[in-house]
Amino acid sequence: MAMKKTDLEKNKALKLTHSMKQTRSERFGKGVTETPLDRREQRKLDQAQGLVAFACKLNSELVDTLKARAATHPGGMTGLLDELLRRGLATGEADTEA
């Protein structure tokens, strides 16, 4: 069913109002904070760093422990897992060589 011209104009006004509420200007305060990257931009940055998504299932207690440690780790969850896996693999290689 086609919309009336007044309904179309009302929808455009609502969209405009919403977009104005979402934007921040340096003129009206502290300035624009760094906007989070969208998924596509984040994926490009990850690929440039050689990162690949890797999913696995873990015990919930282990996940809770990882989340607690990741909160204080400078690299976040990714940095923590990278560090732990590298350390574990290094000790595993030393065990197999002996």
Residue range(s) defining the domain that contains residue 71: 56-98
* Per-residue pLDDT at 15 exceeds 70: yes
Is 38 within the bounds of a domain?
no
Q: Give the burial string for 12-36 (b: 16+ CB within 10 Å, else e).
A: eeeeeeeeeeeeeeeeeeeeeeeee
Question: What is the number of domains present in the chain?
Answer: 1
Is 88 within the bounds of a domain?
yes
Task: Give the mean pLDDT of 57-69.
Answer: 95
pLDDT band at residue 62 under the 50/70/90 scheme:
very high
Is 97 within the bounds of a domain?
yes
More confident residue, 67 or 18: 67
* Per-residue pLDDT at 57 exceeds 90: yes
